[in-house]
C-alpha cells in the first residue's frame, strides 16, 4: 500500500477506526509471549472462576487458567486461521476466475456451474459435513474453510476479466504476440486487484467468525490450544455466575470482525476510481 493510498484510507474515520482496531489486535496477538502474565495452559485449583481483578484482568476459567493470557494466545490462533484460510480461498478464486473470464466458452460454463453448486450449499453446513470426516485441528480448519470459501473471489475475478478482456491494451498485447500467461499476469490480474484486495480483507473477518463458530461447537481448534471460540465454549457452562468467560471472547470476535469490515469498506472506497467523482 503506497503512502497516497494509505493516507486516503485513513481520511475516512470509519476505515481509520478499522485500521487501528486491526493493528492493535495484531500487535497484542503477536506480542502475547511478552504481554501474557501467565502461561495460558497453567492450571491453578486455588484460582478457579475468579472474577476480573488486578491479579487476573479478565478473571479465570473453570480450571483456574488466566483468561487474559488465553485471550492473547487465542487471538494468535484465530488470526492465523483467518489469514491462511483467506490465502487459500483467494488463490483458488483467482485461478478459477481468471480461467473462466479469460477463456470463456466451455471453461467458463464448467467453472461457473461448479460455483453455482457450491453456492447452493450453505457454507457452514458444508464445512460441518467435511469436518465430520476429519480430525479437528488447526491445519484442517484452515484448509477446510479455505476450500469452501473461494466462490465469491472467483465470481469477482471473472467479472473483472470479462470487462477488461476486450480493452484496447489487451487487444494490442494479443496483436504483438503476447502469450496467454503474460496477458493474464501482467495486464489483466494487476488491473483486477481492487475487488480481490477488498474481498480478502472482508474474508479474514468471515474466516475468524467461521473458526469461532466451529470451535464453539467443539469442531474447531481443540484444547489445549486456546482460540476465542473454545474460550467462549468453556464459558457457556458458567454463564449464570461467570459472565467474563463469555463477555471477553465474544467482544474480541465482535471487535475483530467489525475492524476488518470497516477497513474493507475504506479500502473499497480508496481503490475504486469512481469514488473520486463523489
Could you identify the residue written with the cell 479465570? Answer: 60
**SS3 state of residue 59:** coil
The C-alpha atoms of residue 119 and residue 166 are separated, in whole angstroms, by 28
- The pLDDT value recorded for residue 23 is 92
Residue 120 grid cell: 447452493
DSSP string, 108-144: HHHHHHHHHHHHTS-HHHHHHHHHTTS---HHHHHHH
Average pLDDT value over all residues in the chain: 85
Is pLDDT above 90 for 95? yes
Average pLDDT of the segment spanning 13-17: 84
- The pLDDT value recorded for residue 259 is 92
- The pLDDT value recorded for residue 79 is 87
The C-alpha atoms of residue 157 and residue 136 are separated, in whole angstroms, by 32
Is pLDDT above 60 for 276? no
Q: Are 127 and 145 a contacting pair, CB within 8 Å?
A: yes
- The pLDDT value recorded for residue 176 is 78
Q: Are 231 and 54 a contacting pair, CB within 8 Å?
A: no
Give the residue, 3 or 126, on which the prediction is more confident.
Answer: 126
Average pLDDT of the segment spanning 36-51: 86
Residue 89's pLDDT band (boundaries 50, 70, 90)? very high
Fold of 3-29+68-277: MetI-like fold (1.10.3720)
- The pLDDT value recorded for residue 272 is 63
- The pLDDT value recorded for residue 172 is 83
pLDDT (tens digit per residue) in 214-259? 888 877 777 777 888 888 888 888 888 888 988 999 999 999 999 9
Q: Are 244 and 59 a contacting pair, CB within 8 Å?
A: yes
* For the chain, counts of helices (H) and of strands (E): 13, 0
Hey, what's the torsion of the CAs at 7, 9, 15, 18, to 10 degrees?
-70
Q: Are 113 and 100 a contacting pair, CB within 8 Å?
A: no
- The pLDDT value recorded for residue 156 is 92
Is pLDDT above 80 for 269? no
The C-alpha atoms of residue 110 and residue 277 are separated, in whole angstroms, by 38
Average pLDDT of the segment spanning 158-175: 83
**SS3 state of residue 236:** helix
Amino acid at each position: 500500500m503506497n503512502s497516497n493510498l494509505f493516507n486516503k484510507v485513513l481520511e475516512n474515520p470509519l476505515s481509520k477506526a478499522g485500521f487501528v482496531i486491526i493493528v492493535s489486535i495484531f500487535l497484542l496477538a503477536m506480542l502475547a509471549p511478552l504481554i501474557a502474565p501467565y502461561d495460558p495452559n497453567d492450571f491453578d485449583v486455588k484460582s478457579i472462576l475468579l472474577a476480573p481483578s488486578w491479579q487476573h484482568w479478565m478473571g479465570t476459567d473453570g480450571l483456574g487458567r488466566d483468561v487474559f493470557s488465553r485471550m492473547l494466545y487465542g487471538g494468535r490462533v484465530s488470526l492465523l486461521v483467518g489469514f491462511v484460510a483467506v490465502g487459500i480461498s483467494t488463490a483458488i478464486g483467482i485461478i478459477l476466475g481468471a480461467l473462466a473470464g479469460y477463456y470463456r466458452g466451455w471453461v467458463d460454463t464448467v467453472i461457473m456451474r461448479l460455483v453455482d453448486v457450491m453456492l447452493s450449499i450453505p457454507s457452514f453446513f458444508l464445512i460441518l459435513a467435511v469436518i465430520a470426516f476429519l480430525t479437528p485441528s488447526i491445519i484442517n480448519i484452515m484448509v477446510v474453510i479455505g476450500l469452501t470459501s473461494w466462490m465469491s473471489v472467483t465470481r469477482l475475478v471473472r467479472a473483472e476479466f470479462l470487462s477488461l478482456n476486450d480493452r484496447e491494451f489487451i487487444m494490442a498485447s494479443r496483436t504483438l504476440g503476447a502469450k496467454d500467461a503474460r496477458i493474464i499476469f501482467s495486464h489483466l490480474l494487476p488491473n483486477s486487484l481492487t475487488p480481490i484486495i477488498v474481498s480478502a480483507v472482508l474474508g479474514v473477518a468471515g474466516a475468524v467468525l467461521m473458526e469461532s463458530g466451529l470451535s464453539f461447537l467443539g469442531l474447531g481448534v481443540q484444547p489445549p490450544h486456546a482460540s476465542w471460540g473454545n474460550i467462549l465454549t468453556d464459558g457457556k457452562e458458567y454463564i449464570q455466575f461467570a459472565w467474563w468467560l463469555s463477555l471477553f471472547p465474544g467482544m474480541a470476535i465482535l471487535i475483530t470482525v467489525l475492524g476488518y469490515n470497516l477497513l474493507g469498506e475504506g479500502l473499497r472506497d480508496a481503490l475504486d476510481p469512481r469514488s473520486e467523482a463523489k
